[in-house]
C-alpha cells in the first residue's frame, strides 16, 4: 500500500463535526467533474490510491477512469462496501428480508424463498458473496488490489460475534477478485484478535487513529500498544480527530507512530492536498534521518 | 454478568444486540424475533438462543433485563408482561401509542423498583447534554423562544407500506421522527404541554404524516416551534437540531456542533462573550465499543450500570417517555 491514500468523505457530504460544512460540500461536489478535478489534483501531488465507498456516484467516476486508461494507468481504487445508508434506509422502509430481496441480485433470493427458508441459512455466506459481487460491479476493469468492509458492517458483525462472516468476506475477496481484504473499524484491538483467531495473519485494518482519542475504542494507549506489536498493516484514518486537532500537529503524531503503513485523508482543495502530502513527507524524512 | 435478552431483532434490535454482544458485563441469553431467517442467522453465526414467543423466552432464560425493540403498538403489552415478571426493561421509542398506556407502565416500574429506560439516544449526545447544562444553569437567561427541528430522507418516494406507514402501529413522522425533537425540548427546557396549532402533512405516504409543523408551549410558559420532515432528501441522514433564544444569549445546536452566543461576560468557564463553537468530539467520552455513534453505546452502558446499581436510573426513564407521549398526543389532537 502507498504511504498516502486519498479518501472520499468530502465528496459525499460526510462531515463528522458540521452539518453546515457537509451541505457546502454537497453543493461543491454536485457535478462529477468537480470530483474528478480534485482526484487529478491528488494524483498531481503523487497520490495514486483512491479509497472510496461504493456510493452510486462512484460508478460515474469509474466510467471516467475506464475511458482514460492512459491517464489513470497507475491509479488504484480501494472499494469500501457497502454504502451503509443505502441499506439502512432500505431496512427502515422494507425490513431486513425486504432489503435482501431488493439488493441480492438475480432470482437467487426469490428462488430460495420458493424453496423454503430452511436452506437460506446454509447459504447465508453465498448471499453475502452475491452482495459483494453486486457492489463490485461498478469497478470492473479497474485495479482494486484491496477491498474493504465498511466499519458499520465490520463492527456490527464483530459485536454479534459473527466472526465466520468476517473471515468469509476475506476469503471471497481473495478468491474472486484476487484482492486482499481490508477491514475498517472503530474497534481495532478487538477486531485484530478476532481476525487472528480466524486464521488471517497480518490483516489490513483501517482505523481511526489520532492524538485526541477520537473513536479509538478501548483507548489511545491500547491502540499504541497494539501498533508497537506490528501484528497488522494499519491505515490510519480520522487523523484530524474529526477536526479537533490542527492538521500539522495531527499529522506529526500519526506519521511518527510505529507500524502505520498508510495514512488516509480527504481534502477538497489543491492547496490542502499539497500541504498534507508535504507535511507527511516532511515527518517521514525526519524519521528516516533520526533512525 | 448481567443476563440480557432482546425482543425484536430489526434495525434497532440488531444494533442493540451487537453493542450488548461486545459489552464485557453482559451475557445475551436469548433473542426473540418472528422472522425465521433472522433467527436462523443469529443462531448459526452468533450462537444465540432464538425464540418466537417472548414469554417462553423469558420464562426459560430468566433474564435480569430485556431490550424491547418491536413496533410501538406491541410495547405496552410486552413491557407490562416483563415488569410483572420483575425484569428490568429498556424499550425503544416512541414508548407507547398513547400516554395512558405509558403512564401505567411508568407507575408499575416505579412501584416495582425496576430499572426502566427508553431509547431516546439524543440525550447521550455530547452537544445536547451541553445545551441542557447551559440552559439549566441559566447561562442563556430566561428562554424566550425555541425551535426544534429534524429532517431526513426516510420516505422520499411513494412506496411499499411497512409498520412505519401504519398509524395504528406507531408509524408516521410525528411518532417515529418528531418524537426525538419533542423529547429533547421536554428534557432541555420543560415538557410541551400546549399546542396553539399543528399541521401533520403527508408528502408521499398514504396513511401517515411525513411532516409535522407545530406551535407549542411548555410548562414554564415559553413558546416555540417544532418543524420536522422525514421526506427531505437533501439530508444524507437524520439531522436533529435545537435553537434556543434566551434573555442572555442564544444556542444553536445539532448532534455535531454547538454554537452559543453570550450577550455579556456572564458565561461558563471555557466560553467567552459573543459566539462560541464546540464540537461533539470535544464533548464526547470514548466508549468501549463503537458501532454507530457513541450515544448508542453510551445509552446501553448507562442502562447496564443502572441495573448494576452504579448509576441512578434518571435519564430517559419511563416517566420522561410518558411525558413525551403526552406531548405527542397534544400535538396530534391539535392537528385535527
Shortest CA gap B239–chain A (Å): 8
Chain B: residue nearest A208 by CA? B290
pLDDT, residue A118, reads 43
B123 and A CB contact within 8 Å: no
ipTM computed for the complex: 0.94
Closest to B286 (Cβ–Cβ): which among A20, A92, A213?
A213
Pairing of strands B211-218, B192-201: antiparallel
Instruction: Mark yes or no for CB contact A217/B14 under 8 Å.
Output: no
Closest to B286 (Cβ–Cβ): which among A20, A157, A216?
A216
Pairs of residues, one from chain A and one from chain B, whose beta carbons lie less than 8 Å apart:
136
Does the structure show a pLDDT above 70 at A121? no
**Domains located in chain A, CATH noted:** 4-290 (3.20.20.100)
Q: With both helix axes pointing from N to C terminus, report the angle between A84-103 and A124-136 in degrees, rounded to the nearest 10.
A: 120
Q: What is the pLDDT of residues B71-86, one digit of tens each?
A: 999 999 999 999 999 9
Record the cell numbers describing residue B84, joined without a space.
410483572
d(CA A187, CA A205): 10
- Degrees, nearest 5: CA angle B99-B102-B103: 85
What is the DSSP track for chain A?
--SEEE--GGGGT--SS-HHHHHHHHHHTSSHHHHHHHHHHHHHTT--EEEEE--HHHHHHHHHHHH-TTTTTT-EEEEEE--HHHHHHHHHHHHHHHHHHHHS-TTHHHHHHHT-GGGTTTTHHHHHHHHHHHHHGGGTTS---EEEE-HHHHHHHHHHT-HHHHHHHHHHHHHHHS-EEEEEES-HHHHHHHHHHTT--S-EEEEE--TT-TT-TT-HHHHHHHHHHT-SEEEEE-TTGGGTS-HHHHHHHHHTSTTEEEEEE--SSHHHHHHHHHHHHHHHHHHHHH-
Q: What is the pLDDT of residues B10-51, one digit of tens each?
A: 989 999 999 999 999 999 999 999 988 889 999 999 999 999
| Region of residue A219 (left: phi > 0; alpha: psi -120 to 50; beta: else) | left
In this structure, whether the domain defined by B122-284+318-333 belongs to CATH 3.30.360.10 is answered with yes
Task: Find which of A82-91, A129-138, B238-247 is predicted with most confidence, using mean pLDDT.
Answer: B238-247
> The sheet that has B223-229: what strands, in order across it?
B192-201, B211-218, B223-229, B143-151, B239-246, B249-254, B257-262, B274-279
Q: What is the pLDDT of residues B153-199, one digit of tens each?
A: 888 887 656 666 676 777 899 999 999 999 999 999 999 999 999 99
Residue that the C-alpha cell 445508508 belongs to = A85
pLDDT, residue A126, reads 85
**Chain B, window 128-167: residues with a beta carbon less than 8 angstroms from a chain A beta carbon:** 153-155, 159-160, 162, 164
Record the cell numbers describing residue A94, joined without a space.
422494507
Contact B193, B173 (CB under 8 A): no
Does the structure show a pLDDT above 80 at A261? yes
Task: Sketch the domain layout of chain B as residue ranges.
Answer: 2-120, 122-284+318-333
What percent of chain B is modeled with pLDDT above 90? 88
d(CA B95, CA B117): 10
Considering the segment(s) B2-120 as one domain, its CATH architecture is 3-Layer(aba) Sandwich (3.40)
What percent of chain B is modeled with pLDDT above 70? 98
Amino acid at each position: 500500500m502507498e504511504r498516502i491514500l486519498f479518501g472520499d468523505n468530502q465528496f459525499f457530504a460526510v462531515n463528522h463535526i458540521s452539518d453546515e460544512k457537509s451541505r457546502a460540500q454537497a453543493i461543491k461536489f454536485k457535478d462529477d467533474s468537480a470530483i474528478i478535478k480534485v482526484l487529478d489534483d491528488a494524483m498531481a501531488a503523487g497520490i495514486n490510491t483512491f479509497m472510496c465507498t461504493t456510493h452510486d456516484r462512484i460508478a460515474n467516476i469509474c466510467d471516467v477512469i475506464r475511458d482514460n486508461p492512459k491517464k489513470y494507468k497507475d491509479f488504484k481504487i480501494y472499494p469500501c462496501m457497502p454504502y451503509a445508508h443505502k441499506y439502512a434506509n432500505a431496512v427502515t422502509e422494507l425490513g431486513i428480508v425486504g432489503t435482501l430481496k431488493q439488493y441480492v441480485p438475480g432470482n437467487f433470493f426469490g428462488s430460495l424463498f420458493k424453496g423454503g427458508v430452511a436452506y437460506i441459512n446454509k447459504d447465508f455466506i453465498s448471499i453475502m458473496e452475491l452482495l459483494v459481487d453486486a457492489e463490485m460491479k461498478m469497478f470492473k476493469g479497474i485495479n482494486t488490489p484491496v477491498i474493504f468492509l465498511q466499519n458499520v458492517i465490520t463492527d456490527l458483525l464483530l459485536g454479534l460475534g459473527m466472526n465466520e462472516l468476517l473471515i468469509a468476506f476475506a476469503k471471497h475477496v481473495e478468491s474472486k477478485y484476487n484482492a486482499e481484504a481490508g477491514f475498517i473499524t472503530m474497534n481495532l484491538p478487538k477486531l485484530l484478535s478476532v481476525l487472528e483467531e480466524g486464521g488471517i495473519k497480518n490483516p489490513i485494518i483501517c482505523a481511526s487513529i489520532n492524538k485526541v482519542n477520537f473513536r479509538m475504542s478501548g483507548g489511545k494507549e491500547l491502540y499504541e500498544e497494539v501498533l508497537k506489536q506490528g501484528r497488522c498493516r494499519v491505515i490510519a484514518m480520522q487523523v484530524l480527530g474529526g477536526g479537533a486537532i490542527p492538521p500539522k500537529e495531527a499529522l506529526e503524531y500519526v506519521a511518527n507512530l510505529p507500524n502505520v503503513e498508510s495514512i488516509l485523508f480527504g481534502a477538497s482543495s489543491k492547496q490542502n492536498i499539497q500541504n498534507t502530502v508535504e507535511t507527511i513527507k516532511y515527518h517521514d524524512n525526519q524519521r528516516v534521518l533520526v533512525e | 454478568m448481567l443476563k440480557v435478552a432482546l425482543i425484536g431483532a430489526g434495525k434497532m434490535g440488531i444494533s442493540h444486540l451487537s453493542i450488548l454482544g461486545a459489552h464485557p458485563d453482559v451475557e445475551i441469553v436469548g433473542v426473540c424475533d418472528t422472522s425465521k431467517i433472522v433467527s436462523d442467522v443469529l443462531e448459526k453465526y452468533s450462537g444465540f438462543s432464538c425464540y418466537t414467543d417472548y414469554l417462553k423466552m423469558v420464562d426459560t432464560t430468566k433474564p435480569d433485563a430485556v431490550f424491547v425493540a418491536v413496533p410501538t403498538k406491541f410495547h405496552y403489552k410486552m413491557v407490562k408482561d416483563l415488569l410483572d415478571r420483575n425484569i428490568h426493561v429498556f424499550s425503544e421509542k416512541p414508548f407507547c401509542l398513547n400516554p395512558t398506556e405509558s403512564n401505567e407502565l411508568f407507575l408499575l416500574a416505579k412501584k416495582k423498583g425496576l430499572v426502566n429506560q427508553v431509547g431516546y439516544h439524543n440525550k447521550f449526545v455530547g452537544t445536547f447534554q451541553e445545551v441542557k447544562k447551559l440552559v439549566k444553569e441559566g447561562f442563556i437567561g430566561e428562554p424566550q423562544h425555541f425551535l426544534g427541528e429534524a429532517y431526513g430522507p426516510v420516505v422520499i418516494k411513494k412506496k411499499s407500506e411497512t409498520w412505519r406507514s401504519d398509524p395504528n402501529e406507531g408509524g408516521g413522522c410525528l411518532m417515529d421522527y418528531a418524537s426525538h425533537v419533542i423529547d429533547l425540548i421536554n428534557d432541555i427546557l420543560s415538557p410541551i404541554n400546549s399546542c396553539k396549532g399543528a399541521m401533520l402533512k403527508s408528502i408521499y405516504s398514504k396513511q401517515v404524516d411525513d411532516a409535522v409543523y407545530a406551535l407549542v408551549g411548555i410548562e414554564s410558559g415559553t413558546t416555540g416551534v417544532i418543524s420536522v420532515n422525514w421526506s427531505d432528501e437533501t439530508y444524507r441522514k437524520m439531522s436533529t437540531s435545537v435553537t434556543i433564544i434566551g434573555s442572555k444569549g442564544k444556542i444553536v445546536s445539532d448532534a455535531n456542533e454547538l454554537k452559543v452566543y453570550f450577550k455579556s461576560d456572564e458565561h461558563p468557564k471555557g466560553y467567552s462573550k459573543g459566539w462560541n463553537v464546540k464540537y461533539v468530539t470535544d464533548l464526547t467520552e470514548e466508549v468501549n465499543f463503537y458501532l454507530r455513534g457513541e450515544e448508542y453505546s453510551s445509552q446501553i452502558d448507562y442502562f447496564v450500570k443502572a441495573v448494576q446499581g452504579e448509576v441512578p436510573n434518571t435519564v430517559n426513564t419511563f416517566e420522561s417517555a410518558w411525558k413525551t407521549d403526552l406531548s405527542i398526543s397534544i400535538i396530534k389532537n391539535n392537528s385535527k
